[in-house]
Structure 1
Amino acid sequence: MITPVDFITDLFNPDLAFLSKALIIAVCSSIVCGVIGCYVVLRGMAFIGDAVAHAVFPGLAVAFVIQGNLVLGGAVAGVLTALLIGLLSQNRRLKEDGIIGVFFVAAFALGIVVISFSPGYAGSLQQFLFGSIVGIRDEDFVTMIVTGLLLLAVLAVFHKELVATTLDREMARATGLPVMALDLLLYVSVAVAVVISVQTIGNILVLALLVTPAAAARLLTDSLPGMMLIAPIIGGSSALVGLYLSWSLDLPTGGTIVLIATAIFILAGLLGPRHGLIARWRRGRVQPEDEERLAPTSPIRVEASA
């Protein structure tokens, strides 16, 4: 196992330029997914994150077969699917999870059929399913970074509206907010975040970047601004440590990043200051007169951000 110092030396080695590029992409995608994951976790819509992750697959496959831009291909497929889910879910006769389930399997099946036309079918499929962070092309690298920054900017502009629809959809609708349009914006944002993360950890594991850091942050704070800050830090740290362990121990990068994030989630579940198992156990041993003082006053504090 190489030391952290050796790892840093390798990052600045011109002959290993792909390593620093992989680190930048991993951290960038983890931060973007960490921010968007906060909305996903608070709305309890992890399933749509998984569905969109599979929905981008046919777009990636088409772009790969025709030697086009993978980010653009995946984004087109993911956005179209997100829009279809958002529009069809407005029909009260169909529940959202049913619609998501239809597109979930259909998009993945289409991707498998499309990529079967590639000469290196087996290798290409493995690349999409499990990621290929060291094989990212320079043009895809630039596109991912720019897309990630633009997405964060859009979320910052519409943050208050997204928070309102996330915490109380009926109240948001009553105040005149375009709930459907904001739903579509969130779905599209999830799709774009998935696209820029697929090559980092693969199509199968990408949901972990959306959910795990945000879920861990939810256990560590009752403040929404705090959650928005902690989740990207957890995601970025998981990417950094995961890439280091992957490089030094010759482990799969995507799987290692996800396992690090999961370990942080477990620690948060055990050691969280208010919602960890140990803290809850200690509260259970306090005197009855102390219970009101220790009980949380609200599920989530929006503070000035909303």
Structure 2
Amino acid sequence: MSWLTDPFSLEFVQRALLGGVLVAVLCAVAGTWVIVRGMAFLGEALAHGMLPGVALATVLGVPVLIGAALSAVVMSLGIGAVQRRAKLSYDTSIGLLFVGMLALGVIVISHARSFATDATAILFGDILAVTSADLVVLAVAVVVGIAAVTLTHRSLVALAIDERVARVLGLGPRLAQTVLVGLVTLAVVASYQAVGSLLVVGLLVAPAVAARQWTERIPSTMVLAAGIGAVAVAGGLLVSWHAATAAGATIAATAIVAAGVSWLLRLATNEVRRRVPALLPVPA
């Protein structure tokens, strides 16, 4: 069993595992609502829309997390403003801001000869370089995320069912929508420096999709998604160690594979349940 335990005997791998598990929990909390509301595009847009802030922060020598946070907040506010003022659909607003922010980030990078951040680090981060400070940031973000969804659970459920009914019942659908966008923003920004933008999206969507195959209630989906995400992190780190592949990319791929396996298992289970009654003897 040394092949299983040896990688995790190293301190930096242990920090990577703990950081990845915290990201998995935070992304499970946010990702469940993203899946329920059909807002996966928002997570991707926010993750990649942080590029201008990351680029400017790197050029100016400011902490990358601050640049990423400001960029994500600007994009979140911009989506709402474009949707309200221009009377565009939510997806259209996200698409416009996503492309605009991505283009701005590329422009900043192309004009900054001193820009030294590797594109791979932007996409996948460096989970093996997670520090104790990163773990503290992630732990605080997890607590804030869980508190936010707990306090606004009824409003979020009402928003997911029918926004008009939620408005009539006075359950604050606009506040719930703001909390949801803020929750996704929190997950993306808090996780970015540790695991990069692409891995955040992978853990935001894939574990929740996998868990949704087996659960009906929102809290159950969150718990199962967190478990699947944690297993994907551990499995991805293990595969990465032995196969000498990029840790972040391997974790993202493992999460996607988990979603596919969950879907196939659900199909097989449904097929077995459908055939079993036909095989039972008919009572005389």
Do the structures match in fold with TM over 0.5?
yes
Q: What letter corresponds to residue 75 of structure 2 in structure 1? A: T
Match in the other structure for 1:6: 6
TM-score, normalised to structure 2, is 0.88
- Closer/same/farther in 2, CA of residues 139 and 224 from structure 1, 3 Å limit: closer
- The structure whose residues are more often helix, as a share, is 2
Show the counterpart of 1:301: none
Indicate the residue corresponding to 2:267 in structure 1: 277
Whether contact under 8 Å (2:126, 2:195) holds in the other structure is yes
**Aligned partner (choices 168, 178, 190) of residue 162 of structure 2:** 168
Work out whether residues 211 and 225 of structure 2, in 8 Å CA contact, stay in contact via their aligned partners in 1.
Answer: yes
Matches within 5 A, 1:6-155: 6-11=6-11, 18-90=12-84, 93-116=87-110, 117=112, 119-121=114-116, 123-136=117-130, 139-155=133-149
Inter-partner Cα distance in structure 2 for 1:81 and 1:29:
22
How many residues align? The count is 278
The residue identity in structure 2 corresponding to 1:280 is: N
Deviation of 1:247 after TM superposition, in Å, equals 2.4
Judge conservation of contact 2:28–2:204 (CA < 8 Å) in 1: yes
Provide the C-alpha distance between the structure 2 equivalents of 1:88 and 1:151, rounded to a whole number of angstroms. 26
Residue 228 of structure 1 corresponds to 222
- Whether the 8 Å contact between 2:58 and 2:64 is mirrored in structure 1 is yes
- Equivalent in the alignment of 2:184: 190
Q: Is the 8 A contact 1:83 1:184 kept in 2?
A: no
Q: Select which of 245, 249, 259 maps to 1:255.
A: 249
C-alpha separation in 1, matches of 2:83 and 2:171: 18
Task: Give the % identical residues.
Answer: 35
Return the offset for 1:149. Answer: 2.5
TM-score, normalization: structure 1?
0.82
What secondary structure, in the 3-state scheme, does the structure 2 residue paired with 1:231 have?
helix
Separation in 2, partners of 1:219, 1:261: 15
- In the alignment, the residues of structure 1 paired with residue 113 and residue 86 of structure 2 have an alpha-carbon distance, to the nearest angstrom, of 41
CA displacement at 1:40 relative to structure 2: 0.4
Tell me the amino acid that sits aligned with residue 244 of structure 2. Answer: D
Indicate the larger mover: 261-270 or 110-119. Answer: 110-119
Q: CA deviation at 1:215?
A: 0.5
Runs of 4+ in 1 over 6 A off after TM superposition: none
Retained in 2: the 8 A contact 1:37–1:214? yes
Change (3 A) 1:204 1:278: same
Alignment-mate amino acid for residue 67 of structure 1: G
Q: Deviations over 1:63-108 (max 9, x none)?
A: 2222322222212211221122134324583111111111111111
Does the C-alpha gap of structure 1 residues 22 and 177 become closer, same or farther in structure 2, counting only changes over 3 Å?
A: same
Deviation at 1:221, TM superposition (A): 1.4
* Aligned residues of 1:78 and 1:188 also touching (Cα < 8 A): no
Structure 1, unaligned runs of 5 or more: 12-17, 291-306
Q: C-alpha distance in 2, partners of 1:126/1:258?
A: 13
Q: 1:143 to 1:285 in 2, by over 3 A?
A: closer
For the residues of structure 2 that align with 1:125 and 1:278, how far apart are their CA atoms?
A: 40
CA displacement, residues 129-158 of structure 1 (integer Å, 9 cap, x when unaligned): 232223345544433332333222222222
Change (3 A) 1:101 1:28: same
| 1:238 CA displacement | 0.9
Residue 5 to residue 283, structure 1, CA distance change in 2 (3 Å): closer
Indicate conservation of the 8 Å contact 2:154/2:171, yes or no.
no
Question: What one-letter code is carried by the residue in structure 2 that aligns with 1:36?
Answer: A
The answer for unaligned runs of 5 or more in structure 2 is none
Which residue identity lines up with residue 158 of structure 2 in the other structure?
A
